[in-house]
Amino acid sequence: MLIGIVVLAVGFIIMTLDDEQYGLGFLGITLGPMVVLAGFVVELFAILVKDKKQV
């Protein structure tokens, strides 16, 4: 789960690095949200694997 949290944080940091007005450049619109989505997928996978081991 820690890896997912780190990936989420990196995604949000990438979105803040966009120099375009209102964050409408490649980093703010495309790359950042894709990394955040990947972080949520990692978190979901970690939760499902953790629950599976407890049963």
Distance of CA 8 to the CA centre of its chain: 3
Structure confidence at residue 50 (pLDDT): 74
The pTM for the full model equals: 0.87
Structure confidence at residue 53 (pLDDT): 64
Residue 55 scores a pLDDT above 60: no
Q: Which amino acid is at 22?
A: Y
Element (H, E) at 54: helix 32-54
pLDDT digits (tens, 9 = 90+) for 4-54: 999 999 999 999 999 999 989 999 999 999 999 999 999 999 988 876 666
Helix axes 32-54, 2-16, angle to 10 degrees: 170
3-state secondary structure 3-52: HHHHHHHHHHHHHHCCCCHHHCCHHHHHHHHHHHHHHHHHHHHHHHHHHH
